[in-house]
Amino acid sequence: MSKRKTESQIVAILKEAKVGMPIKDLCRKYGIDNSTFYKWREKYGGMEASDVCRLKELEEENRNLRMEKEILKKASAFFAKEMK
């Protein structure tokens, strides 16, 4: 299994594809599966490395907020029962 690529590496690989390097050659060169390349392109296509970093930060924040929301919903239901 190859190492995970950084956001900067992913963006650089996607840029190589944009300038015309065949995808199968890129995948071989960087040791990635074709499906991985297409997932990256779908998710990060057209972004700069800083945009990708910000996207990851926002996804993490979103995940944390969803967990907090669930905790608050459960706490609210618990205290509503206690008040009855």
Model pTM greater than 0.75? Answer: no
Higher pLDDT, 1 or 33: 33
Mean pLDDT of 57-68: 97
* Residue 71: both structure tokens together: 């905790």
* Residue 58: both structure tokens together: 């926002």
Among 28, 34, 30, 24, which Cα is nearest to 10's?
30
Token look-up 């998710």 returns 43
pLDDT tens track for 10-56: 999 999 999 999 999 999 999 999 999 999 999 888 888 888 889 88
Mean pLDDT of 57-81: 95
Instruction: Note the pLDDT of residue 27.
Output: 96
Amino acid, res. 10:
I
